[in-house]
Amino acid sequence: MKVLPTDFEGQSIRRIYDEATETWWFSVIDIVQVLTGTSNARRYWSDLKRKLAREAGSEQPYAEIVQLKLTAPDGRKRETDCATAATLLRIVQSIPSPKAEPIKLWLAKVGYERMQEIADPALSLDRARQTWQQQGRSDKWIQQRMTGQETRNKLTDYWGEHGIQQGREFAILTSLIHQEWSGLSVAEHKDAKGLTSHNLRDHMSEAELIFTALAELSTRQIAERQQATGMAENKSAAQAGGRIAGQARRQLESQTGQPVVSASNYLPPDARPPARLPRKPAPKGGKRQG
């Protein structure tokens, strides 16, 4: 996965990663602030939305904008308008600013690189490998991460060809698989590692990557065997595939005495918030276990 820059000319642009669709979403307000230098970027964006709607006679281009919770300057998470790089490019074209051209080039570069990667997936893998090497990942970890990504791609290709819609439905199935193998939802796993707008898989241990890949491989093979189509049938395959990896995880843990799911991450030391795994509910008549 290519890691995009988090700022433009020294000014922060908040972003968040959608695990299910493997898409980066950027804060529209931050882009507006960078371009205009206004003291009230939220008001500027509100006025611009109305102007664009009048000119287009529809709700485009912000019909494709979603509200996601991002960390505000005061440290609290608040919902804010977010868009993909392609949608942002259309918005930027509507803002008169001397900085518009440089940021359009920045966004266009992102889009151009993505088109290159679609035409030649090896480019995406090469860029990802270079990024992980720069971040100090071992060759063994990188190989496992890339193998897991290939397994994931084959599964999402199957979903896309069998009646599953990208976005919400991908997310539902991904969460089902993850819950079954790990005992945690994707959101809970990220919380356990102290992650916010990060790609969970980029912060998994080798063991976590292996069990994620086993769960997704099992899901795809079960779905193919059953010719699963639509949400109901693919939910069943997702649960079955995740359970296979979950059983394997528990067997390994019983032999080693060590949990597979970890609270560790690869964040720089100065960027690591407190991270811990959720406490397991106490069994009836027994003590709570950590």
- CA 72, 77, 78, 82 torsion-angle sign: positive
Mean of the pLDDT values across residues 28-42?
Answer: 88
Interhelix angle 206-226/230-256, nearest 10 degrees: 140
Q: Which is higher by pLDDT, 210 or 57?
A: 210
Confidence of residue 115 (pLDDT cuts 50, 70, 90): very low
Looking at residue 103, its pLDDT comes to: 75
Q: How confident is the model at residue 287 (pLDDT cuts 50, 70, 90)?
A: very low
Give the percent of the chain with pLDDT over 90: 36
Q: What is the mean pLDDT of residues 221-240?
A: 97
Q: pLDDT value at position 240? A: 97
How does residue 182 score in pLDDT terms, banded at 50, 70 and 90?
very high
pLDDT band at 162 (very low <50, low <70, confident <90, very high): very high
Residue 277 pLDDT greater than 80, yes or no: no
More confident residue, 245 or 112: 245
Residue 267, pLDDT score: 83
Query: How far is CA 73 from each of CA 6, 10, 13, 77, 198, rounded to the nearest angstrom?
Result: 15, 16, 12, 9, 18
Q: From 42, 7, 18, 39, select the one nearest 28 (Cα to Cα).
A: 42
Q: Is the pLDDT of residue 116 over 80?
A: no
Task: State residue 209's pLDDT score.
Answer: 96
Which DSSP symbol is given to 269? G
Residue 222 reports pLDDT greater than 60: yes
When pLDDT is cut at 50, 70 and 90, the band that residue 121 belongs to is very low
Contact 111, 89 (CB under 8 A): yes
Q: What tens digit of pLDDT does each residue of 73-90 get?
A: 777 788 889 888 778 877
